[in-house]
Amino acid sequence: MEPKTTAEVSGMGHSMKRKEDPRFIRGKGNYVDDIQLPGMLYMDIVRSPFAHAKIKSINTEKALKIPGVLAVITGETLAKYNLHWMPTLMSDTQMVLPTEKVVYQSQEVAAVIATSRYGAADGVEAVEVDYEPLPVVVDPFKALAPGAPVVRTDKKGKTDNHIFHWEVGDRAATDKAFAEADVVVKQDMHIPRIHVASIETCGCIADFDRVNGKLTVYMTTQAPHAIRTVFALVAGHVGLSEERIRIVSPDLGGGFGGKVPVYPGYVIAVAASVVIGKPVKWIEDRMENLQADSFARDYHIHCELAAKKDGTMLALRSKTLADHGSADAAANPSKYPAGLFSICTGSYDFKHAFAEVDGAYTNKPPGGVAYRCSFRVTEAVHMIERVTDRLAQELKMDPAELRLKNFIPKDKFPYQSALGWEYDSGDYARALKLAMERIDYPALRKEQAEKRARGELMGIGISSFTEIVGAGPSKHFDILGIKMFDSAEIRIHPTGKAIARFGTKSQGQGHETTYAQIVAEELGIPASAVQIEEGDTDTALYGLGTYASRSTPTAGAAGAVAARKIREKAKKIAAHLLEVSPDDLVWETGKFSVKGAPQRSKTIQEIAFAAYTNHPQGMEAGLEAVCYYDPPNLTFPFGSYICVVDIDRGTGQVKIRRFIAVDDCGNIINPMIVDGQIHGGLTMGMAPSLLEEISYDENGNVQGGSFMDYLVPTAMETPAWETDKTVTPSPHHPFGAKGVGESATVGAPPAIVNAVVDALSHLGVTHVEIPMTPERVWRILKEKGVAE
């Protein structure tokens, strides 16, 4: 799409250089740990070495003798204020600090407050905790078996570890379709526990001003407004009132879903500041971050697909066990305990489907947040794209041909899926065909046949995913009852410059640039003259924050609608200035002119000046607007990825030789930023496919709790990603955009797995679990007798 605006205005479609970068490249970003307040104290946390243990005693005497240590906060301290437990985003409960037992390794046990960072760490070493280990359960299947140790003994009458059962679809009709099908393929798969591992860890400074009774919390949060409300609800009984709580989310060093929840550390820091009356800083280290913050995934899936002999897909059925650790602390909309897993029919025209998910408690950290994806969409896409390849293998069909045969045809949009979604728009065949053309698919198949004849292992994998992002609409979506709209406020200054504030919060997405481009597109004010602010609850409008690729679909939409309201008022002012009827005016970027007399016009800057200096009688002065945007539907970005891998028969190492990603996120605000988002998303798709996993031994000891053994991809493992796009605008979004930040994380893993399975398919391999580490792949090669 050619941009409608000039490069000077830089509206939609311009690869404008980022407005936030000048501070970052000079080392002048302002992240939480960069902030120092006068008199600030430091907090460090004592953590449990056991996954399940009774706390017999906590002795703080030695710690309190260390110079600079001011206090040790325990569960007993917080219990006095009834703050030792807190609600999770899924209306479960989670300990802030324990009074009776710990339920996962590295759980917070006590907090030391000291005058220095090092002093607090000394204090942590000196706190003596006497534990009595209890039986541990780490496997969710064992957790649901009779006689398993009960994790949540705090819940009155709870005698098992079952959290929820959720199901969607028509079970009977799906079962009938399966009974009548020619072919049924089945596959078990585990989507392992992983961690977002943003390079900045989590932390905060809680600053309670005793004189004014005001609490300011500078914190690493993707959803500052929701957090403010949660604090007001949780701590209202100790006098924190929402108008006297200010959450400031400064520059964030990545989020990816890990900075949505409220962690115990934040709450303890707030409690400490309220009690002591001084600012308290808490910054977790990397090991705390990996070992105790919310994880992602951990879905054990059984999936079945029924089809006709010719490859026509008929029905999809799945049963999943979700390991939630010690609390259901997922960051899902309230009504969706399994998130948007029901997007699992994917890009295919299924008549029947049924999905069920059960949640289980285990002795592991709580969570179930996203890892750069919209609410369990990655798990769903992994399942459908994997089982689709499984069907192709069973029928000896080319996986591209099978996909093209079963795609929802473009003329069936808006499309009603068997599991209840209305897909807004799509042209799946176009994206797959473009990817095949870009990578020369037939040539690759020929090369593969030649290599296979020589004993070399080369595979080609496809993933044609459909995402579901941009929650609301608010009639279905809320977080703890707060509806999932989002907001924008735009104020045009007398000199024609603007400030715009949003309810979301960038963590690297580039909102300061893209939101300015939206305003530029709608009003013709250069994006360089539009200041964007987010993240301060005292100034920005209420919004639900940035995650699940919702910023452009919701807050971006709000920005466009607010700008259009301003344009309506501007039109009346222009009519007044030009002494014509508003109906006689036409808008082209940046100005209103009189129909048939284009030389008679007023620019938005002239109109803005008049709004404060010469506005029509009876009209309010000023030029500003607010929009709380409630999307009528979600948006459904999609794409087709093709991955080419070579496998080393000596080591089992999988090397991604080429990877083409064709994405369709509707209309694009800034192509440079979209490309960057896709590169990053692909890398976070590759990471769990090949490298990352947080696993536990049978005693609940974390394996993968530091960057020593949690392998975040470096530039060496990461291939030179290739990207391309198709553009299918969303019909209901104000400027046709869909959201893009997570598409690649969602779409990439099955393409990589499918490529590896494809490389080994002639050996009878039908599935490989992730992460496909050299060891795991080598064991398969060994078993099949092809290891060198």
**HSE-up (13 A, CA, CB side) for residue 149:** 17
From CA 89, how far away is CA 375, in angstroms rounded? 13
CA pair distance 254, 285, nearest whole angstrom:
15
- List all residues 6 or more positions away from 26 whose beta carbon is below 8 Å from its beta carbon: none
DSSP string, 614-661: SPPTTSPSS-EEEEEE--SS-B--EEEEEEEEEE-TTT--EEEEEEEE
Question: Is there binding between residue 724 and other proteins (CB under 8 A)?
Answer: no
Cα–Cα dist 181/313, whole Å:
9
Regarding 786 and contact with other proteins (CB under 8 A), the answer is: no
676 binds other proteins (CB under 8 A): yes
Site for other proteins in 35-64 (CB under 8 A): 36
By the rule CB under 8 A, 31 interacts with other proteins: yes
The residue from 228, 372, 376, 491 that is catalytic is 372
Q: What is the DSSP letter of 735?
A: T
AA letter at 294: S
The DSSP string of 86-100 is: EE-TTS-EEESS-SS
475 binds other proteins (CB under 8 A): no
- When asked if residue 20 is in the footprint of other proteins (CB under 8 A), the reply is yes
Q: Shortest distance, CB of residue 734 to other proteins, whole angstroms?
A: 25
Judged by beta carbon, residue 20 or residue 160, the one nearer other proteins is 20
Residue 365 main-chain phi, psi, to 5 deg: -60, 150
Q: 49 vs 622, which CB is nearer to other proteins?
A: 49
Nearer to other proteins, 35 or 786 (CB): 35
Burial class (CB in 10 A: 0-12, 13-18, 19+), 533: middle
Told to check if 721 binds other proteins by CB under 8 A, we report: yes
The one catalytic residue among 222, 291, 393, 507: 222
Q: Residue 33 or residue 724: which is nearer to other proteins going by CB? A: 33
Regarding 220 and contact with other proteins (CB under 8 A), the answer is no
Q: How far is the CB of 293 from other proteins (least distance, A)?
A: 14
Q: Residue 262 corresponds to which amino acid?
A: V
Joined together, the tokens standing for residue 18 give 């980022």
The answer to the question of residue 714 lying near other proteins (CB under 8 A) is yes
Q: How many of the chain's residues bind other proteins (CB under 8 A)?
A: 57
Q: Which 253-292 positions form the footprint of other proteins (CB under 8 A)?
A: 253-254, 256, 285-287
Segment interacting with other proteins (CB under 8 A) among 299-307, 453-461, 635-643, 672-680: 672-680
Which entry of 304, 512, 606, 742 is annotated as an active-site residue?
Answer: 742
Instruction: Decide if 509 is catalytic.
Output: no
Cβ-based neighbours of 481, under 8 Å, separated by 6 or more: 334
- For residue 663, state whether it binds other proteins (rule: CB under 8 A): no
Is 718 among the residues that bind other proteins (CB under 8 A)?
A: yes
Query: Cβ closer to other proteins: 358 or 692?
Result: 692
CA distances from 416 to 202, 307, 424, 473, 554 (A): 40, 20, 9, 16, 22
Asked if 21 is part of the footprint of other proteins (rule: CB under 8 A), the reply reads: yes
* Residue (of 395, 383, 387, 390) closest to 311 by Cα position: 395
- Dihedral of CA atoms 565, 567, 569, 572 in degrees, nearest 10, equals -150
Instruction: Out of 9, 89, 245, 252, name the contact with other proteins by CB under 8 A.
Output: 252
Residue 251 sits in the site that holds other proteins (CB under 8 A): yes
Buried b (16+ CB within 10 A) or exposed e, 301-326: bebbbbbeeebbbbbbbbbbbbbbbb
Burial 662-688 (b: 16+ CB within 10 A, else e): bbbbbbbbbbebbbbbbbbbbbbbbbb
Using rule CB under 8 A, residue 27 touches other proteins: yes
Near other proteins by CB under 8 A: residue from 618, 720, 764, 785: 720
Residue 65 binds to other proteins (criterion: CB under 8 A) = no
Residue with smaller CB distance to other proteins, 169 or 508: 508
Report DSSP state, residue 187: E
Is residue 66 a contact point for other proteins (CB under 8 A)? no
Nearer to other proteins, 622 or 719 (CB): 719
Told to judge if 303 belongs to the known catalytic residues of this protein, a careful annotator would answer: no
Phi/psi at 411 (nearest 5 deg)?
Answer: -85, 0
Q: Segment 77-136, which members bind other proteins (CB under 8 A)?
A: 117-118
The least CB distance from residue 291 to other proteins, in Å, is 12
Three-point CA angle 351, 187, 463, nearest 5°: 70
- Residue with smaller CB distance to other proteins, 200 or 521: 200
Q: Rule CB under 8 A: which of 490-519 touch other proteins? A: 507-510
Q: Is 202 a catalytic residue?
A: no
The piece of 316-324, 549-557, 692-700, 702-710 that touches other proteins (CB under 8 A) is 702-710
222 among known catalytic residues: yes
Q: How far apart are CA 182 and CA 179, in angstroms?
A: 9
The interface with other proteins within residues 178-207 (CB under 8 A) comprises: 196-201
- Residues carrying an active site annotation: 222, 372-373, 742
Applying CB under 8 A, the residues found at the interface with other proteins are 17-18, 20-29, 31, 33-34, 36, 117-118, 196-201, 251-254, 256, 285-287, 507-510, 672-673, 675-677, 679-684, 706-708, 712, 714-716, 718, 720-721
